[in-house]
Chain A
Amino acid sequence: MNHLARRTFLAGLGAGLAAVSVGRGPRRLEAADPILAGRPLVRYPEKADLILLTSRPPQLETPMRYFAQAITPNDAFFVRYHVFPVPTSIDVDTWRLRVTGRVDRPLELSMDDLRTKFSKAGLTAVCQCSGNSRGRFSPRVLGGQWGDGAMGNAAWAGARLRDILAAAGVRQGALQVTFDGLDKPGYPSVPDFVKSLDLTRVLEDPDVLVAYEMNGQPLPVLNGFPARLVVPGWYATYWVKNLAEVSVIDHVFEEFWMKPGYRIPDTACGCVPPGTTPARTVPIHRMTVRSFIVTPADGARVTAGRPTPVTGIAFDAGAGIGTVELSDNGGATWRRADLGPDLGRYSFREWNVAWTPARPGLHRLMVRAVNRFGESQGLEPLWNPAGYLRNVVEEVEVQAS
């Protein structure tokens, strides 16, 4: 975040986050955050008031306060579609999941089939947009200018994809599996949103699900009703919503949303020197380690000399969070946070520190997480041209008086 801009804004700001009405226009987000300040707050069907990124196709961001708890409520979960129109009317009695391609027995599974013919599996996992926090890249990059709320964590339940593929019988020579949802571009030359995964990735991982439950409820339409793919540890681009067809293929699928879309530099960090173009790219895959301070909110006022709970969440691609640390002196020293309940290695992990601001004035709090593989977050942001993989050490500024 741009500290100068934020400091200027802080001068005139009482609370960290609030919704305000400006005239007769839409409600807008009041925030210390230069990327999100002034964005419309909108209420879409089955959803709470969320931050509008785009209307068509719908893209909605979750306000940071919802991450005070490890589980993100269904109505607050972010929305990101790629093409328009999106499905707005779905009859679950006539909906079918087609399993096609290089299989012995092509399937047309009803919701009843999914629920009764396959054992129910579940796990809690973070779903995060590849471009989450893209608005914070410097130099800035084109694309959806998300703040940090294109992410959420839910308890998913459904059928294992590998059980479904076993029922269909994958043939020799199969290499990848493609996933297509009910969203179809209205303009014919726009590439349909279809994603692919390597067959080995799918067969080796029992946690890849066709999920029909989200936090114990049917999914909201805008989050993928009646079923979506869950690919724990990998970015949300693979979590195809309103899933309609799974197809086994004998080649590497390279249509637009796999290539050139959703690629990262083929380097160890997935990054290149700022402003440069990578020589080679690969499809984006595992999520980087991230952690956020949720309370106090950026720009909040606190009391000097009084213990203030500092809380937030951390997550990674599935090694699991090992430690979370907080610094109030620019990273010179770090204090270890207490971790909340372990909801599984793919989940948000809550953390907290009792922090006492020693003096009145502006304090900068920084958080970093280390996962069980020893992977962590850097003090300097990594850069790539598409604005993916962001995982710099995050911070908030609070005013003590």
Chain B
Amino acid sequence: MSRGRVRRRPLGTSALPRAAVLVLVLALPLAAAGAERTITLPPDDPSARLPDGPGAPETRNACSLCHSTDYIVMQPRGGAVQWQAVVTKMIKVFGAPITDEDAKTIVEYLATRYGPAP
């Protein structure tokens, strides 16, 4: 699990005491009649977790600040030129707080893990 990720409690009532569940159930019809609509989003899909390796912690921290890593794993594979352009865009356009040193590490990680198919 990356340090940069905001973790949420999963859906479900197992973490709540039984009395609280009862109160919630009783309160539901009232809440439904009100004007407020509330949803709870699931956590990031765990299967999109970036694989371990040199540069993985830096990559997870930097990228997960703003988006889940499925953005990375679904992309077409590409070499250092492709990934350098992506990292540069994240820094210059979206203002990602990535040091020059970390940017180099991240590009190397991505070009290794998601480099051109052999």
Contact = CB atoms under 8 A, between A and B. Distances in A.
B67 A57 contact: yes
A307 interface: no
Nearest to A137: B76
B70 A55 contact: yes
A68 interface: no
Contact of A55 (B34, B68, B76, B82): B68
B74 to A, nearest CB: 5
Nearest to A140: B76
B74 A53 contact: yes
Interface stretch (B13-21, B43-51, B52-60, B99-107): B43-51
Interface stretch (A122-130, A163-171, A182-190, A390-398): A182-190
Given A25-B47, A26-B47, A140-B76, A45 B36 contact: no
Contact of B68 (A42, A56, A92, A187): A56
Contacts of A142: 75-76, 82, 86
Contact of B47 (A40, A53, A190, A256): A40
Contacts, number: 93
Would you call the interface of chain B mostly helix, strand, loop, or mixed?
Answer: loop
B81 to A, nearest CB: 12
What class of interface size applies to chain B in its complex with A?
20 to 34
Contacts of A86: 41
A326 to B, nearest CB: 32
Nearest to A141: B76
A272 B94 CA distance: 27
Nearest to A46: B39
A191 interface: yes
Contacts of A56: 44, 67-68
Given A141-B76, A190-B95, A88 B70 contact: no
Contacts of B30: none
B70 A52 contact: yes
A159 interface: no
B94 A40 contact: no
A221 interface: yes
Interface in B63-97: 65-68, 70-71, 74-76, 82, 86, 93-96
A89 B36 contact: yes
Interface in A65-94: 84, 86, 88-94
Given A44-B42, A141-B76, A191-B94, A53 B37 contact: no
B35 A55 contact: no
A142 to B, nearest CB: 6
Given A92-B37, A142-B75, A191-B94, A42 B42 contact: yes
Interface in A134-154: 140-142, 144-145
A189 B38 CA distance: 27
B45 A55 contact: yes
B59 to A, nearest CB: 16
A94 B42 CA distance: 26
Interface string A24-47: 011000000000000010101110
10 contacts: A44-B42, A45-B40, A55-B43, A57-B67, A58-B41, A89-B36, A92-B36, A94-B35, A222-B39, A225-B37
